[in-house]
Amino acid sequence: MIRDRMGLTFLLLMPVALVLIMTSLQDSTFKALEKEHIDIVILNQDSKILGDAMIQALDSAGVFNMTVVENVNDNVLSETKNQVREGHFEIGVLIPQGATKQIRKRISQEIKKQLPQLGKKGTFEDTPTEIEIFFAPMIKGVFKQAVSESVREIIAHIQTQMKKRRFAQFFRT
């Protein structure tokens, strides 16, 4: 019986080498991502529940170097968009004035629609809360989509918390 020792050695060592190489490559990629923080500017025109909760949620993610601008006018908005376009920030988020009020109104309408005995019947306007997100030109599409989805999830979580509080108020009275 002829044995191929070299073939047997490659058969056993190549998968081990492949696993070690792939692990080291992935580890270095994750370390690079952990070291870098993404520069983000948040223009908070709604200094209420939504604006504050959005800032807190993005800050707790731990991947952003955040700059928060509270007093936003048209000049500040256009200047900030230019800074994002020029690459000073990778992401810009505009939380419009009255966003919390809009969510509260929508929640009240939903509750009245679901439990008509608690309020007057009326038309239900489902207008989404518009939070504008703008990106630097160098940001890839997949990353843009991931950030946009994360912001939508944060908004949905905030709405759910507000809805729970509103239902609790209705049932306490």
Positive or negative, the Cα torsion across 125, 127, 72, 37? positive
Asked if 132 and 52 sit in the same domain, the reply is yes
Asked if 129 and 152 sit in the same domain, the reply is yes
Asked if 4 and 45 sit in the same domain, the reply is no
User: What pLDDT score does 24 carry?
Assistant: 78
- State the residue range of the domain holding 159: 37-172
128-133: long-range contacts, CB 8 A cutoff, minimum separation 24 = 129/50, 129/99, 129/102, 129/103, 129/155, 130/96, 130/99, 131/54, 131/93, 131/94, 131/95, 131/96, 131/99, 131/155, 132/92, 132/93, 132/94, 132/96, 133/91, 133/92, 133/93, 133/94
Tens of pLDDT, residue by residue, the chain (173 residues): 567 888 878 888 888 888 888 887 776 655 655 557 788 999 988 877 888 888 888 888 888 889 998 888 888 889 999 999 998 999 999 988 888 888 888 887 877 777 766 555 555 455 566 788 999 998 888 888 888 898 888 888 888 888 888 777 777 76
Q: What is the CATH number of the domain that holds 162?
A: 3.40.190
Asked if 156 and 129 sit in the same domain, the reply is yes
Asked if 142 and 84 sit in the same domain, the reply is yes
User: What pLDDT score does 73 carry?
Assistant: 85
| List of residues 6+ apart from 111 with CB closer than 8 A | 118, 119, 163, 166, 167, 170
The rounded distance, in Å, linking the Cα atoms of 65 and 95 is 18
User: What pLDDT score does 86 carry?
Assistant: 92
